[in-house]
Structures are given as C-alpha cells and as structure tokens.
Amino acid sequence: MEVVVTGGAGFIGSNLGHELLTLSDVDEVAALDDLSTGFRANLDGTGIRLLEGTILDPDALDAACEGADAVVHLAALPSVPRSVIDPVASHHASATGTLEVLQAARRAGDLHVVIASSSSVHGANRELPKREGMRTALVSPYAVSKQATEAYAMSFGHTYGLPTLAFRFFNVYGPLQAAGHAYAAVIPAFVDSALRGEALTIHGDGEQTRDFTYVGTVTRVLADAVTRRVTDLEPVNLAFGTRTSLNALVDELAALLGHRPAVDHVEQRAGDVRDSQADHTRLRHRFPDVEPVPLREKGCPSRSWRRWWPVVATVVGGCRRRSWTGRRGSSSRPTTPRPSRGRRWRWCGTNHCGAGWRRLPASGARCSTSGPRSRCSSGPTGNWSGPDCRRGTHARPVKRAQAHFWAR
C-alpha cells in the first residue's frame, strides 16, 4: 500500500509517516508539503518521500496521487489567531485545498481519503461534551474553513461515492511540535517559555479547558483508519473526553520543573473557544482497540510528557531513564517516532537541560554522563548532543532553552 500524506513534513504529518512505516501493510509513504509550516528536517533519514508542492496545484496533487491507495489530508494553516489576521489564506489552505485534494482523489481512481477537521467548529456552543451531531457555532475564520473541509468530504461521499472519513482533532501535542513563534500551540509555548526562564502567557483567566490528545494516539488511529479503509458520512471526534484547564497545565509543568514558573495573564484572544471536551462514543465504536496516552498518570508524569519533554522528566523522582534500540516491528518501540530504521537511540544525561533521547551511530557509540554536561559521542568524532547542541551526529550549538525540542 502507498499512502500520500498532505502536510506530511509538519508536526502531525511527519509523526504519521513514521507510524505508517512501522506497519507491514504500508510499503511507501509520500509527503506532499510546500514547507510553509513544515520542515524538511522532520523527514530526514525516515524513508518518507518528500514531494515539495502545494495542495492548490492540481498537477502536484495528480503526481502525488499516481499509484497511491489512500490520502491522509492534513495540510492546512493551523492556528485560530493566524486565521483572524489572514482569513483569506486560511480559507484557501483549508477549504479550497480540501476541494482540490478530493478532486485529485477522484481523478486517481476514487482513493480512500482521511481528512483532518477541527474541534473549533463547535465554537461558542457551551454544551459539553462536544458531540459530532450538535449545533456548531463558528467564531473564527479557521473554524469556518474547517467546517467547509469536513462538509466537502461528506458531500463527496454522498454525491460521488468517494470513500472518505473526517476526523475532528482536538488539542494535539507531542514530538516535533514547533515552539518559539507567535502561533505556537499552548503546550510547546509553555515549555519553551519555562525553559527560557520567561513568564508563561495565558490569554484570559486560565480556567479555559482543553481536551489534550497525544500525537502518538492520533497517528495510530489515522494509520488504523487507512489500513482498514474506515469510512463515515459523518465527522468523528478524535479525542477522549478529558478536560484540563490551562492553570492545571501550569501546575503539571511546575511539578516537572520543581518550581512554579511565572504566569502573565493577558487579554483573551478573538476567536478562542472557552471549553473543549470530546464525546468519544463514535470514535470508540469505530476504533475499539485504541488506547489513549493520558496527560498525567497516577504517581508519575505520563509517558507522553516524559517522551516529549525528556529534559524536564529527568528531574522527576520515580521516572526511570530508558534505552531503546529502534527496529521495525519492535514491540518495545516507544510512541515517539524513530528518525530512521536501524539507528540506535539511547537516554543520555543526568539532571541537565540537555538530557534526553539521542540518536547514535550504528557502531562505536556511547553515552557519557561525566563532567558538568552530559554528551553523546561517536568514537573519535565526539559530537556533542548535550544541552548546547541540536540532534543528530552533525550537531551545532543552539540556545539551551531550545535544546529539548531537538531531542526526539
């Protein structure tokens, strides 16, 4: 099976590509991405084929879909604030782009299409939990474009018999999620600010709630939907009914850091939704075997936090460092994606900012935790992978506060 992932160099797309390549049913994954919000480095050494192009180009879509069996459409311009500033760009990326993808899927022989919508379509409707059939109350241009996205998917299913499935994503977080920019999602923004020693910015009183969903869980559901060719003429929530306020999120981060970071409350942003919590009845019916990774676990921060924030997790008592040798099909594979087949990963470091999972060469690799900073070295090359270095064997210095984002 060959799968095309639009937006495949982005946060969710690159994680999905990794997940798909662990499945015996999938032979090839192609990522179509214009790299406007994605990164080529997310796909380096993964075996995912990058096709640089935009979903607004029918020729690029036709080339990507040729010989494919399924399309997972993730390409978009994420962020409600971004859509408020530039609603036209948001509409083109989501609404028009989805229409072009569906047309290309029809031209390629009615490919199975899995599409990403958003919980933002529920908008100002205060009813909880959010059921798929409840009234939508759109409050942002992003929400409007995402409702058009899922509506196009369902209309093509009804009108043309195209096999489609639209998921409503809630607040997805995890590895490869970008931080340090104006439109960063709340979790990476909080972590980035905390590790820089800056105040965490909260828009409003912090009592707004979100249904946070780990990206590893999201990609497993998407991969299962592709391989089983799951279809539905109604949208499906992809979240598990949790509610976490931003103030509670700060408390979780404080527990990991060992101290409470400063918080700066500012004016609420236009278009933001007050509360979000999914009804997961329909998801459980179609994907009964899915097991979500919780944001927290009793007695120890959850696996998702440890894997995504390995730097912070090292200071938490009771959470052991682990080593892993990544091999395709390994039952011990963590949900964090491996950068390439056959490469080894090892936990390096003690209670330093640069501790975390490190990619090591196939031979002659060792972890050294001696000295004031931990490092990974490869025999005579001695490439740093500690608090002042990026990931990979050809490392270069970066700011200390950003180091953990490069440790996959």
In-domain check, residue 339: yes
What is the full DSSP assignment across 41-56? GGGTTS-PEEEE--TT
pLDDT at position 180: 64
pLDDT at position 242: 93
- Which domain-ending residue is among 249, 267, 294? 294
Under 8 Å between Cβ of 211 and 170: yes
Tokens 């491996």 sit on residue: 338
- Which domain-ending residue is among 248, 266, 294? 294
Lowest mean pLDDT among 285-294, 364-373, 390-399: 390-399
b/e for 75-100, b at 16 or more Cβ within 10 A? bbbbbbebbbeeeeebbbbbbbbbbb
Q: Do 166 and 51 share a structural domain?
A: yes
Q: Do 319 and 236 share a structural domain?
A: no
Lowest mean pLDDT among 107-116, 123-132, 224-233: 123-132
pLDDT at position 374: 36
In-domain check, residue 313: yes
**CA–CA separation, 15 and 9 (whole Å):** 9
AA letter at 207 = E
pLDDT at 344 over 50: no
In-domain check, residue 299: no
Q: Do 335 and 228 share a structural domain?
A: no
196 half-sphere exposure, CB direction, 13 A CA radius: 16
In-domain check, residue 186: no
Lowest mean pLDDT among 193-202, 288-297, 355-364, 386-395: 386-395
**CA–CA separation, 192 and 181 (whole Å):** 10
Q: Do 313 and 279 share a structural domain?
A: no
pLDDT at position 318: 30
* Arithmetic mean of pLDDT over the chain: 78
Q: Do 335 and 360 share a structural domain?
A: yes
**CA–CA separation, 31 and 5 (whole Å):** 5
Q: Do 403 and 281 share a structural domain?
A: no
Query: Ramachandran region of residue 300, left (φ > 0), alpha (ψ -120 to 50) or beta?
Result: beta
Tens digits of residue pLDDT in 31-53: 999 999 999 999 998 999 999 99
Mean pLDDT of 59-65: 98
Other Cβ atoms within 10 Å of 140 Cβ, number: 25
In-domain check, residue 399: yes
Q: Do 279 and 348 share a structural domain?
A: no
**CA–CA separation, 243 and 260 (whole Å):** 21
Quick one: tokens of 311? 């730097």
Under 8 Å between Cβ of 310 and 268: no
- List the Cα angle 302/305/309 in 5-degree steps: 150
pLDDT at 247 over 60: yes
Under 8 Å between Cβ of 255 and 301: yes
Q: Do 162 and 122 share a structural domain?
A: yes
In-domain check, residue 177: no
Q: Do 384 and 235 share a structural domain?
A: no
Q: Do 70 and 108 share a structural domain?
A: yes
Q: Do 324 and 218 share a structural domain?
A: no
Q: Give the structural domain span for 104.
A: 2-171+211-240+275-294
In-domain check, residue 251: no
In-domain check, residue 92: yes
AA letter at 218 = V
Q: Do 25 and 102 share a structural domain?
A: yes
Structural domains in the chain (count): 2
Look up the CATH number of the domain holding residue 72. Answer: 3.40.50.720
Tens digits of residue pLDDT in 359-388: 444 444 444 333 333 333 333 333 333 333
Tokens 């480095």 sit on residue: 41
**CA–CA separation, 131 and 395 (whole Å):** 47
